[in-house]
Chain A
């Protein structure tokens, strides 16, 4: 039965967009935690740990997210873990995000000049004190804008979970498009909703970047 594309559909899409945001936030938190661990492994003074972290990052950044989604979707049940689309989506996006966060944060840590470490040492600070009081505060300031920038990337990437059947904004649009045969307005609306979310995030990232430059 074909029906018109109506305001009720837009409401349905907006409701689905909440899942887009929820998924992105979940991956932000989950990926953030794993990413922190990977970033540390990447820079600690223990070679094998560095190699493991690099291999992990290369594996995740060298394969398509779409492939990772399908591998988790079909792979987890084989391990005896029954998952739905949400679990597979949340897990694989978290892992995907962790590799990028690890690289962003490693770069931020390393961009703090070695002289800062020396200056801290010259004042008699311990390694941990130098890290927490001298280097980390500077690194965080550097890391915030690209981190928010990647969150915007993550919002766009959640659209791929539609292809394993998770009902977020893109999947909802596919369903409505099939029911109304009005793909242009439906996908146009979806694009507009994504735009509002992502544009706000990229503006936020730009403002944070300006502020961190001004603070230096």
Chain B
């Protein structure tokens, strides 16, 4: 092997990399929040007794979960303009990712609501709580606790999946790899470095999510 690895050639681009980190985190958090909101609607709709709500929710979830994110992004960015909807790359990335996460979050939430035993619902109802009160005060918190791990790994996957938006030209951390590559002609070093940057990001993100779990669900505030 006679190749000289020259990672120091990338040093001048630290600023670009940090900017990429910021963009990726921003994209992840924003789409996580929007996706969660979509997911809540979808979960409630798909456990509804009314077919008019349930069927569209199921179609949405199945359509998203059975097709690749990349194709979904292409449909939003390249496909929608032929319907007269022209989105900027970064907006298209956000829309595509949110729609994608919404379906997965919806499934996780639905499973969570179902996981709270019906005996808990009965206990709430037999105390005279309405269906809505039972959901809010009896079902919601244990359900969120039960699904938190699944939701957290979904968000880690989301953080990694955001790298795909570079393919439609949206600016994020992975996009910086191509940029640095184009300036330094150090393809391997550029992509390896950026890939490792994601590792640091995911490890930190996971630690943060575990800390939140501990703060909210494990450490109980004593009166």
**What's the nearest-Cβ distance from chain A to residue B113, in Å?**
19
Name the one of A70, A79, A194, A199 contacting B71, with C-beta atoms under 8 angstroms: A194
Kindly list chain B residues whose C-beta atoms are within 8 Å of the C-beta of A202: 65-66
A14 on interface, CB distance cutoff 8 Å: no
A126 to chain B, nearest CB (A): 36
Contacts of A195 in B (CB 8 A): 62-63, 66-67
Instruction: Tell which of A41-49, A132-140, A155-163 binds the partner.
Output: A155-163
Over the window 188-205 of chain B, the binary record of Cβ atoms lying under 8 Å from chain A Cβ atoms (1 yes, 0 no) is: 100110111011001100
Task: Specify which chain A residues have a CB less than 8 angstroms from the CB of B199 in the assembled complex.
Answer: 58-59, 62-63
30 pairs of residues in contact across A and B, judged by CB atoms under 8 Å: A61-B202, A62-B160, A64-B164, A67-B191, A67-B195, A67-B198, A70-B195, A74-B191, A75-B188, A78-B3, A78-B188, A79-B1, A80-B1, A156-B69, A159-B70, A160-B70, A170-B70, A173-B71, A183-B74, A183-B79, A183-B81, A184-B75, A187-B71, A187-B78, A188-B75, A190-B71, A191-B67, A195-B67, A202-B65, A202-B66
Binding site for A on B (CB under 8 A): 1, 3, 62-63, 65-72, 74-75, 78-83, 160-161, 163-164, 166-167, 174, 177, 187-188, 191-192, 194-196, 198-199, 202-203, 206
Number of chain A residues close to chain B: CB under 8 A: 40
* Separation of A195 and B163 alpha carbons in the complex (Å): 23
Distance in Å from the Cβ of A122 to the closest Cβ of chain B?
34
The 3 A-B pairs with the shortest beta carbon distances in the complex, nearest first, are A67-B195, A183-B78, A159-B68
Q: Which residue of B lies closest to A78 (CB)?
A: B3
